[in-house]
Each structure stands twice: as C-alpha cells, then as structure tokens.
Amino acid sequence: MHGRADGSHVWFDPIGVLIKPGQMVRWTNFNPGNSHTTTAYHPANFGRPLRIPESAKSWDSDYLLPTESFSVTFTEQGVYDYYCVPHEQAGMVGRIIVGEPEAHGGWMEAVAASRGLPDEALKAFPTVEEIMAKRTVRRV
C-alpha cells in the first residue's frame, strides 16, 4: 500500500501476483499520509460483487494505519480481486491468482459486464494473462 505525500495517487504494489495454494500474502501500509484497507470483492463486504472463488473465505483488513500490516493465507485455487475501501474510486485495486486461473469459480463470466465497479478500478486490474506471464505485476 503506497501513496504520494500529497495524497494525489494511491496504489497497491504489486497490483497483481501469482502464488501457490497455501501461500500467505501480507499487505503493509507504507503510505505515511493515509489509512488503507485490503478488502475482498465479496457480498459479505459492503454488498460488493463476488470476485473471488465462491468457496473461498472473504477478508477485510479494516483500516490499516501507516506501518500496520494484514495477512491472508490463500488455500483455494482461483482469481481473487480486492480493493481499498476509501480509495476504490481512485483505482486502488489488486488481483491475486492462486494456482491455476481456470479455477476461478466461474465468477469472471458472471461479472463480464463488470457492473457495480468504478471505471478507475476496472481500468486498473492487470489481466490474468499478464499476471501468468510476469508472475508479479507492478504499476506505480
């Protein structure tokens, strides 16, 4: 979790990552001027659309102050999209692929029209193909 000192730009780094089932991801807020969250796209989180595997556990870090961290261990294969609650409109989103991307649980087809997400968020997601090719995608 990063941001410019003047608050004009915020982002996750990396924005896309490929991991193996059972691996943990840790988010740390390196932005001295903002609080951030890492929140799964899931109806349990503020009624957001499901954008993680249906059988996967949802998460919401709550607000992380500068230098605070939050971790999730991913056991279900698939594609996981997440966002920062206060900065989703600014495109602060990310994508994690666990194992094989075809095991995304069918949600990608269900939200092909991408209803309910801000345009900036939709533009920011790296593609599954880009993550598979690079394993780690950075955009700063």
Taking only the tens place, the pLDDT of each residue in 67-79 is 999 999 999 999 9
Task: Give the count of domains, the chain.
Answer: 1
Contacts of 44 (CB under 8 A, 6+ apart): 58
Six-digit token pair at 23?
């691996």
CA dihedral 71, 83, 131, 14 (to 10 degrees): -60
Q: pLDDT value at position 108? A: 60
pTM: 0.91
Alpha-carbon gap, residue 16 to 6, rounded angstroms: 25
Within 13 Å and on the Cβ side, how many CA atoms surround 11?
15
Q: How far apart are the first and last CA of the chain?
A: 11
Domain of residue 90, residue span: 2-137
Q: pLDDT value at position 120? A: 94
Q: How many other β-carbons are positioned within 10 Å of the β-carbon of residue 21?
A: 14
Contact 93, 124 (CB under 8 A): yes
Give the CATH number of the domain where residue 83 resides: 2.60.40.420
Alpha-carbon gap, residue 139 to 125, rounded angstroms: 10
Q: H or E stretch including 122? A: helix 119-124
Q: pLDDT value at position 100? A: 83
Residue numbers in the chain where pLDDT is lower than 50:
113
Contacts of 123 (CB under 8 A, 6+ apart): 91
Q: pLDDT value at position 113? A: 46
